Chain A
Amino acid sequence: MKAKIIITPKKAVLDPQGKTVQNALEHMGYQGIGAVHVGKYLEVELSGNDRESARKQLDEACHKFLSNPVIEDYRLELE
């Protein structure tokens, strides 16, 4: 089992990295570029098959440690 975690800056928090990448893409001539957000992507390999317990544990870890809820949102997917 594998968990995929995507951490992004909260919409209300300024994301200068995303803005800079967006500007660069526009300057390079790419068309139709909208807002860019730079975040983090984590893959966690899991032993065992209990999806519910894995989700519960990782949800806690995301909230407590892997993301900072003051400035970041996260999305957790299990596959």
Chain B
Amino acid sequence: MNFVVLQFPASNCDQDALHVLRNVLGHSARFVWHKETSLGNADAVIIPGGFSYGDYLRTGAIARFSPVMQAVQAFVAKGGPVLGICNGFQVLCEAGLLPGALIRNRSLQFRCEHIFLKPSRPIHRSPTRFRVTNCSVCRLPMAKVVTLRMKRPWRI
């Protein structure tokens, strides 16, 4: 399969995704910069994690309007598979390709654990809660640090 891994300013683990796709799974994979308008011959798209556009405004809100995301919208409309990891998942929510929106965790604490979601009522146990109204049962391991992420620029 031909994978593409999107890259935004401040993406991370994009190199890891490419490494796994190429060297572990043996697929063809390449990066596509966020300013590109085409996904070429992609069979599948990976949107990696990180802090696209510094998480300014809302996580994923600015990345959602980048040129490559217009290509992703068209790709999805044709039935193409897209995997959003971490910030990539947030970008997909902001883009309206996944339902719901991410809000701060009730405890404002970092939580790293497997969360089994049932979309019948809001979930209160993940770091950023994912509000779902209508989709099938899904399993999502989530490890997203809201409070630590805010502090990072001060520490570097």
Contact = CB atoms under 8 A, between A and B. Distances in A.
Q: Interface of chain B, helix or strand or loop or mixed?
A: loop
B101 A71 contact: yes
A66 B106 contact: no
Given A65-B61, A65-B65, A70 B106 contact: no
Interface string A51-79: 00000000000000110101100000000
Contacts of A20: 108
A66 B57 CA distance: 7
Q: Interface of chain A, helix or strand or loop or mixed?
A: mixed
Interface in B90-115: 94, 100-101, 103-108
A48 to B, nearest CB: 23
B57 A70 contact: no
A20 B146 CA distance: 15
Contact of A17 (B61, B94, B108): B108
